[in-house]
Structures are given as C-alpha cells and as structure tokens.
Chains A and B, each alone.
Chain A
Amino acid sequence: MSEEKNILEVEHLKKSFKVGVKLRPFQALSDVSFSVKEGEIYGFLGPNGAGKTTTIKTICNLVRPEGGTVKVLGGSFKDPAIRQQVGLMPEHAYYHEYLTAREFLQFHGKLCGLDQALLKKKIPELLERVGLSHAMDRALRKFSKGMLQRVGLAQAIIADPKLLILDEPLSGLDPIGRADVRNIMLDLQKEGKTIFFSTHILSDVEMICERLVILNKGKTIAEGKVADLIAPDSDHYEVQAGNVSPELKESLLKNSTLLVEKESGLVFEIKKEDVASFVNALVAGGALIIKVEARRPSLEDVFLDILKNTSEAEK
C-alpha cells in the first residue's frame, strides 16, 4: 500500500458524439488525462459542458472511448470484481423513485452481494450518516433535491468501496448540506477511501482536495496540487470600505479599480504594495474599513491564468 499507487488512471481519453440530423461528430473529449492516487480526495474541475460527466461515463463503461485508456484499481471497470470496490454517484440523482430510501439501499446492497442481516443493521446507520434517518420509509419520489443527493451518496458507499466516483456531489445542496457532504467526504478519506469528484465550483476543490485536474472543452488544461494551481492571487488585494466621500473616492481611484459600488460600501482592487498607503488614505479621509483581503481567484481567473501560461510556454 504505497502512497503512490494509482487508483484511477485516465490517459488521452477521446470521445465524440454524433449530433444533429446530419450526425456530425462533436468532439466532447479530445484529450483527457489524469491519475488519482490512493487515499486522496481528487477534484475534477471544469465549467459546464467541459466533459466531466462524459469522462465519468467513459470510466464507468457506459460509453466507449474512441481513444485512450482507463484503468480503475489497476484493472478494467468491466471486471465485476473491480466494480465491487467502486461506488458511483451519477449526476442528477437518477434513482428508482418508487422505492423508499430503505428499499433503495436494500436493492443496491443486495446487488453488491451483502446479506440481509448485515443490511438490516447497516442501512439505518448509513441513512443516519447522511442525515436522512427521518425519511427512511419515504418514497424517493417525495425527496427534495438535496435529500436525493444524500441518498445517492449513501448508495455509493453501501459496500465499503475503495474508490468513490461522484459526479457533482455538492450541487443542489444548501450551504449546510454542502458542509455536511464535504465533512462526510473528509471522513471517508480518513477511513482510507479514495474519492474522485467533479464540480464546477472552485471553492469546493480548494476546501477539501490536495490535487485536482482542470478540464476545459474536453481537454485537460492543468493537473497538479491545488496550492500550485489555484493559490490566492497575493499580488492583488480587495479592500471594502464604507462611508467614502466622493472626493475621497476620486483620489483613491488613482491607484485602484472599483469592483463593486453599493450603499453599504465600495470594494476596491489594489496592488499589494499599495495596501498600507491605501488603508492610511481611507482612515485619514474618515472612511470605515470593512475588509482587507488577498483577492481569491474565480474559476475564470484560473482558466485565464493557465491559458496565458500555456500559450506563453508554447511561444
């Protein structure tokens, strides 16, 4: 059990779909590569339509790749013994809605070969863990979106898988729900499981992953440590201040840009070296300082940055 063992390995994956009446090929994946090591929470980040779900479907043998290779736990997902050790949570909670939460988990438990006695004990624990003990005997049809996400997570972990493949596990949840699910993911990692999950939200990845891959238009554009790829941009700061008089604002704008202007306050972006003088000027001008912080990049910032770097590297 070395730390370096690859649990999931995807190399140069390619896939196109035939679209429209003319069945013209559309390249959904043109070159996707990454590898997930044992025991990590690995983020799969990309904007809508980047090809995250298509990659996951290819990994799970639902669609056939046109090129490239996928290795799951050192073997193929086609092998039932490998599938026994993987938990999948698909996008959009595609589950049997006529079943109750308990029946749904029983069904999946039995498909994994778990026996009735074990399931009887395990299912209530599992539902408790995902915060659904109150809805055990309710039909999934009557579940809210967030509840479906939770029951989906429960079915993914029912057979104690080594690897979890989760397609947007945090979407559709309220802030408390997001925190709950993030904590469950962290706990699962502590239990030794490897988690591969997709998202289009940068902060999800920053909060729980060490490494990630960024996908754009069917192509891996970056892979590596979160700290290296999406470090906060410490060259720029954001300062929020209230009670800024028009004259003060005029003079401040000489070495800053105004990001937001609201009644409650203004948000300026300034360079790191100007922070001290800027804050002094605010205080002298009688303004109220609300917040000073290093600017956090958005997903677009990270993209632009990476694209800029790669095009510079190509030159």
Chain B
Amino acid sequence: MRSILTIAQNSFKESIRNRLFLNLLVFAIAMIILSLIIGTLSLGAEKRITMDIGLGAITIFGTLIAIFIGVSSFSHEIERRTIYTILARPVNRTQFILGKYLGIMMVLAVNTIAMAILVSLVLLMLGQPPTLLFWLADIMQLLALGVIAALAIAFATISGTVVAVIATLTIWVSGTLTDDLIYLARRADNPIVTGITEILYYILPDLSSFSLHTQVANNLEIPGGFISTALIYGISYIAIVLGLAALNFNHRELV
C-alpha cells in the first residue's frame, strides 16, 4: 500500500509540474469565468443556468485532464523508461498501475473541487449562492472522471500515447452517446448492427448514469437510487478496467 501511495504522490507531483496541465488549468479558469459572466449577462442571470454552465465547464476540462494527463502520466513512464528503476524496487506491476491511477485521481479531485469552489465564488459574487445539488453533481462528475481515467490508464498500458489518447477520447464520446446509440440501433432492421450495438452498449461506460446536469439545469429532484446505482456501477467498472489492465500489463515486455 505504501508503494502505491508513493507512486501516486510522485505522479501527482509530475502532473502539477507539467506544462500541459498548467495550461489546461489556466485556460479552464479563464473559460469558466468568461462563460459564467457571458451566460449570466445574456441569459438573464438565472441561477440554475449559471450552475449548469459551470458544471459543463468542469466536466469538459476534467475529462480533458483525465484523458491527456491520465494517458501521459502512464505512457511517459514507459516511453521515457523511468519505469525500469521503479520496477526494480520491491513494487509489482499491479501496484504500479494502482499508484498511477491514484495519482491521476488525486489530480482530478483537486481540480474538480478547485473549479467547483471557483464556480461557487463567482455565483456568490453574482448574488446566487450555489445549491447542494450543484456540489453533489460535481462529486458524481468526479466518479465519471474516475471511469474515464481508468480507461486512459488501461489504454496506456497497451499502446503509445497517441493511440491511447485517441482510444480514450473515442470511448468518452461514445460513452456520452450510449443512450442515443442504443435508441437508433434498436430501430435499425439489421440484426448485426443491432447485435453489435447491443454488445457495445454493455461494454462502453454509460456516462449518463453519473450525470446530474439535467437535474441542476432544471432544478429537479435526484431520482431515487441514483447515487447508489452510480456508485456501484462506477466502482465496479473502474475495478474491472484496472483489473484487466493489470492482467495484461503483467505480461508485457518493457523494451
């Protein structure tokens, strides 16, 4: 456990010293402030809309960080061969993967919370204190990011940076579209298309199951069982993805 934490800590350190991360962060902050101000001015300062815009910005930047920083924090270790000395320590490859995952999750948690605080501050300045629902939606969003980050790490264990980033981006996009996808496929007549989509539907992460955007935007109640379902689904999905990644990575040659 200690080595997992040590690796996570180091990974966190790398990320916050990484130029890409800092650029993303500055850009995100600027975007959030700008979009909030424009949104409030043009849409007539309705609080639920402002919160929705903030949540959207947090989602997009969190996802970009999960994908780009998640993949690169892992693939750098392999491509720059820093993994050689790490694996020469009493650390096994599964611990290495878990450490890397925990590291990116620390980055994502800090980032999500910091941005939510930023949005809340802007809201307060506009005289519209954020609701509890907004914060709950942020936390659920972090769980969705956890799923994306697990996929990013898993792809980084089998391929190089570019392929892993593209693969994770693709899954993210299809993961946000699963509901539409299955709707379209079920209407199609072709049994092969329907079959493949049906399989994909169960393999792809259903990111809508973590989303409270509609609730925030329309100030609705949280559906019953939403949180427990999302937690069980998210945690099992992450565990399976990381488990498969570890299984494969244990056999990989690191040349």
Contact = CB atoms under 8 A, between A and B. Distances in A.
Interface of A: 17, 57, 60-64, 80-81, 83-84, 86-90, 92, 94-99, 103, 107-108, 110-113, 155
Contacts of A97: 80
B81 interface: yes
B214 interface: no
B42 interface: no
Interface in B1-28: 2-3, 6-7, 10, 13-14, 17-18
Output the residue of A62, A81, A97, A155 with the most chain B CB within 10 A.
Answer: A62
A95 B80 CA distance: 8
Interface of B: 2-3, 6-7, 10, 13-14, 17-18, 80-82, 84-92, 253-255
B80 A80 contact: no
Question: Top 5 closest A-B pairs, CB basis?
Answer: A94-B81, A80-B90, A88-B88, A111-B89, A62-B254
Nearest to B3: A111
Nearest to B81: A94
A173 to B, nearest CB: 19
Given A57-B255, A62-B253, A98-B13, A155 B92 contact: no
B2 A110 contact: yes
Contacts of A96: 10, 14, 82
A112 B6 CA distance: 10
A94 B84 contact: yes
Contact of A88 (B2, B85, B91): B85
Given A107-B6, A111-B3, A60 B89 contact: no
A17 B253 CA distance: 11
A94 B14 CA distance: 15
Nearest to B16: A98
Contacts of B3: 110-111
Given A94-B80, A94-B82, A60 B88 contact: yes
Given A90-B85, A96-B10, A110-B6, A63 B255 contact: yes
Contacts of B255: 17, 57, 62-63
Given A63-B255, A96-B14, A99-B13, A112 B89 contact: yes
Contact of A80 (B2, B81, B92): B92
A126 B253 CA distance: 32
Given A83-B90, A88-B88, A113 B2 contact: yes
Contacts of B6: 107, 110-111
Contacts of B14: 96, 98
Contact of B85 (A57, A61, A63, A95): A95
A133 B90 CA distance: 27
Nearest to B254: A62
Given A94-B85, A113-B90, 4 more contacts: A60-B87, A83-B88, A88-B85, A110-B3
Nearest to A62: B254
8 contacts: A60-B84, A60-B87, A62-B253, A63-B253, A80-B91, A84-B89, A90-B85, A94-B84
A87 B84 CA distance: 11
A73 B86 CA distance: 19
B14 to A, nearest CB: 5
Contacts of B92: 80
Contacts of B89: 83-84, 108, 111-112
A306 to B, nearest CB: 29
Contacts of A80: 90-92
A116 to B, nearest CB: 11
Contacts of A63: 253-255
B10 A95 contact: no
Contacts of A17: 255
A151 to B, nearest CB: 11
Contacts of A60: 84, 87-88
B88 A86 contact: yes
A84 B88 contact: no
Contacts of B81: 90, 92, 94
A95 B82 contact: yes
A239 B2 CA distance: 63
A111 B80 contact: no
B91 A111 contact: yes
A231 to B, nearest CB: 35
A84 B14 CA distance: 25
Contacts of A84: 89-90
A112 B253 CA distance: 23
B90 A155 contact: no
Contact of B90 (A61, A62, A111): A111
Which of B6, B10, B18, B89 has the most chain A CB within a 10 Å cutoff?
B89
Contacts of B17: 98
Contacts of B254: 57, 62-63
A95 B89 CA distance: 14
Nearest to A54: B255
A83 B91 CA distance: 9
A155 B90 CA distance: 14
B2 A61 contact: no
